[in-house]
Amino acid sequence: MSENYAKETICIQSGWKPGNGEARVLPIYQSTTFKYESSEQMGRLFNLEESGYFYSRLQNPTNDCVAAKICELEGGVAAMLTSSGMAATFYAVFNICGAGDHVVMSSTVYGGSHNLLTVTMKKMGVETTVVDPDADYETICQAFRPNTKCVFGESIANPALVVLDIEKFAKAAHAHNVPLIVDNTFPTPINCNPFKWGADIVTHSTSKYMDGHAMALGGCIVDSGNFDWAAYPDKFPGLCTPDESYHGVVYTERFGKAAFITKATSQLMRDLGSCQSPQNAFLLNVGLETLHLRMPRHCENALKVAQFLEGNDKVAWVNYPGLKGNKYYDLAQKYMPNGTCGVISFGLKGGRKAAEDMMEKLKLAAIVTHVADARTCVLHPASHTHRQMNEEQLKEAGVAADLIRLSVGIENADDIIADLAQAIAD
Ligand SMILES: *Cc1c(COP(=O)(O)O)cnc(C)c1O
């Protein structure tokens, strides 16, 4: 949108712009393919000489409208949807890293991303050095190597709830001529815009707050357009030298600020095919229309629940970056002054056994492998999402064995608290 609308207006109005007589609501282009009058035009599309749709493995108009909305919410220049948050993380990294390259990653990132980088991408020849997000600037700088291609972190780590010092990481990345990629799933662009603080690429699992109703899996990559790939052609040959699979196109020359997203779409989507289903993109768009209403409520409820837990004598510890006195309160105030997210973690004095007993007694909060939707839900990462990690890795990831991850929904806060109170009581 050319107008400078506020986020609330972008949530509702951005993306789909119907012409005269067209559907008011974003249509679902439930079509694998698109028709053209001449084979010559089709040829130009395949040469990337003209933009347009030809096959939904690469791009789809419904998806592009939704990506444009998220792009605007983040303040970026180009964006794409992916079939999942994991696909977004993989594509964002793999778009600039291949065999023989290296990544610097915050240790507290989401378990799935940790596995992707340290196990799966390692098999592809990409090495990752894990750094403590709280380490000082100099220590973080020591992790870089000549073949480092990017830095990856999470604005609020799931489930460790560590708030990333985005400026510190951006400074370290830029001092080594590489971009900072930030997974901004938990605060969403309603509460945090990593580009404002120097991040270059943002990724999302749209399966969480953006969709908001636990209905549609999806991901998104947004490019700020700020990283100057062409200044480091030796580091980023994929963007700065001819792509033989497209008759020698040089992405930075032909597409300027859209180079990163165009390459990810035309190469990675073409060859690996993780496009979001247009049905899911439609549902995601409905979710985005209320994101600006839901996020403040998630945060308000989470703060009330965190305060209740803090005052309960069966509770050993509570971690919520919105709580005064929390280790990350100051960083949260800086990077997300309007609120963090709806996710809290805590431990009970009775440890793991007490956690399991409590979870079984909950009536409102359901045990599910999900976070960040309208319904309050709960999970024990050490036995569920992070069970493939050993004790050492759990510690490094900031996941204690007794950690209960509570995703506070947008029900009435008193009802959520009453449910927890009865489940914690003997
Ligand atoms: C869930 C999640 C992912 C993975 O997203 P999927 O949509 O489940 O593939 C990545 N990062 C964070 C922070 C997440 O919470």
pLDDT value of position 2:
54
pLDDT value of position 46:
82
| Half-sphere exposure (Cβ direction) of 327: Cα atoms closer than 13 Å | 13
pLDDT value of position 4:
87
Residue to mutate (ligand 1; options 91, 120, 181, 205; most atoms within 8 A of CB): 205
Q: What stretch(es) of the chain map to CATH 3.90.1150.10?
A: 292-425
> What pTM was estimated for this model as a whole?
0.96
CB distance 91 to ligand 1 below 6 Å? no
Element (H, E) at 288: helix 278-288
CB distance 110 to ligand 1 below 6 Å? yes
Q: Residue 33: helix, strand or coil by DSSP?
A: strand
Q: Could you name the CATH architecture of 7-286?
A: 3-Layer(aba) Sandwich (3.40)
Under 8 Å between Cβ of 175 and 155: no
CB distance 211 to ligand 1 below 6 Å? no
DSSP string, 95-125: TT--TT-EEEEETTS-HHHHHIIIIIHHHTT
Rounded Cα gap, residues 332 and 162, in angstroms: 9
Nearest protein CA to atom 7 of ligand 1, as residue: 85
CB distance 219 to ligand 1 below 6 Å? yes
For residue 110, the CA-to-ligand 1 centroid distance in Å is 7
pLDDT value of position 32:
96
Strand ranges of the sheet holding 127-131, from the earlier edge strand across to the other edge: 78-82, 219-223, 201-205, 180-183, 148-154, 102-106, 127-131
Q: Read off the pLDDT of residues 315-353 as tens digits, 9 standing for 90 and up.
A: 999 999 999 999 999 999 999 999 999 999 999 999 888
Element (H, E) at 180: strand 180-183
Strand ranges of the sheet holding 315-319, from the earlier edge strand across to the other edge: 315-319, 343-348, 404-407, 377-379, 366-367
For residue 18, the CA-to-ligand 1 centroid distance in Å is 32
Which residues of the chain have a pLDDT value below 50? 1
CB distance 113 to ligand 1 below 6 Å? yes
pLDDT value of position 313:
96
pLDDT value of position 311:
96
Q: What stretch(es) of the chain map to CATH 3.40.640.10?
A: 7-286
CB distance 287 to ligand 1 below 6 Å? no
CB distance 321 to ligand 1 below 6 Å? no
Element (H, E) at 174: helix 166-175
Q: Identify the CATH class of 292-425.
A: alpha beta
CB distance 291 to ligand 1 below 6 Å? no
Residue 179 corresponds to which tokens in the numbers above?
């971009």
Q: Read off the pLDDT of residues 139-159 as tens digits, 9 standing for 90 and up.
A: 999 999 999 999 999 999 998
CB distance 153 to ligand 1 below 6 Å? no
